[in-house]
Structure 1
Amino acid sequence: MRVVIAEDNVLLASGLELLLAEAGFEVAALTVDAVAFLRAVDEQNPDVALVDVRLPPGFRDEGIRAALEARRRHPGLPILVLSQYVEQQYAGELLSAGGGLGYLLKDRISRVSEFTDALLRVAGGGTVMDPEVVSQLLARNPITALTPREREVIALMAEGMDNQAIAGRLFITDNAVHKHIGGIFTKLGLAPTDSGHRRVLAVLRYLDDQG
């Protein structure tokens, strides 16, 4: 699996390259800014991209903007965004772009198997959100219409878990998970015609409802 990386910290970039190579990935390009990243994506046609939220020259949102532009140029390109801190605006904006996207805090990289699993999940079209990001976003935007169990379910949905994984985490049946998710969709006003992205839309509606 070929990866393009956008990370201006030389030590971290080198570490990522080594870590991914040992895990069986091929690093097709290492870039340090948004312009070089977009050029590398165009030239290398990677299977997945890793992008730092903040890149030169402004170290503000260049990385997230580059990620969204890469998706515009290459629809469906899987991208995992890395951030030093929880940046709620960027996390929500990324989720709105659909599946095959993820947002992880950089300290998650040290948990190698967890990090590579997240990258593979994103490459496979899934949505991955760092548990700390989910926790802070949900704490900021509770929706009182959801039951405590439904809030637990939607938090795990935001982490990218499927129904079976949620059932295992909460020690409930698959049927119970399906029922809770149906309740979430109903309370958040998501019609069956939205089925393609309803899980992502549910998380976004949950986060934005009281914004």
Structure 2
Amino acid sequence: MVIDAIYDEHQTLLGFAKITRDISEQKVVIDKISWLARYDALTGLPNRVEFFSFVEKLFTESDYNHIAICTVDLDKFKEINDTEGHLVGDQLLQRVSSSVLKAMEKDEIVARFGGDEFVAAKPYNHDDELRNFTERLHSCFVGKQIFAHSEITVSASIGVAVYPDDATDINTLISNSDLAMYRAKANLDNKICWYEKDMDEKNAPAEPDGRGYSPWYQRRAVLHSLSGKTLAERQGDYRL
């Protein structure tokens, strides 16, 4: 709203004129831009920026003794995209994200970092609180999903790293939870894996070597942990 004084030719004040502008549409656009800066457009979950802001507050303002970081990765999601199409893949991401939003409680957050990678944070004081959270989180990502022309059984792998036991900064915690997640992917029985000190970068898939090949750890029914043997497989042909 703008108020202007009105004068005659002798500069005598005659009154005031009020000019109003409808800025509701502009405000909607600004609010939308602000939301997209902090949330994922496809799923409605917090994005990386919002996640780091949330966790930073947990580190500086909360009274909890521990903060767990959980990396979640859908199993064989690329295969689902390739066989069922990206529309089904997007719908799957939206469905599991909807389950996540309903399941989260106060001081808990699950963000989508991109693709089928999700990262969660859970502050807690007692181990049973974390155990309950990881089981609740895992349940959001598993089960049968029925689509127009297909039925998909979905599973997920979760890696967990805990502050201050496994690291004292958020970036290292995420890296360590990633390592635990890759261990979970190779584990046929337990799809929730806690970070251990002996895990290192060799447990995680390397980047493509420039020829389109990446070393991936071979999944074997007789083993429940990662061995040192890798398979050089064509990038995009197969992923756990």
Give the structure with the higher percent strand: 2
* TM-score normalized with structure 2 length: 0.26
Name the structure where helix makes up a greater proportion of residues.
1
Q: TM-score, normalised by structure 1?
A: 0.28
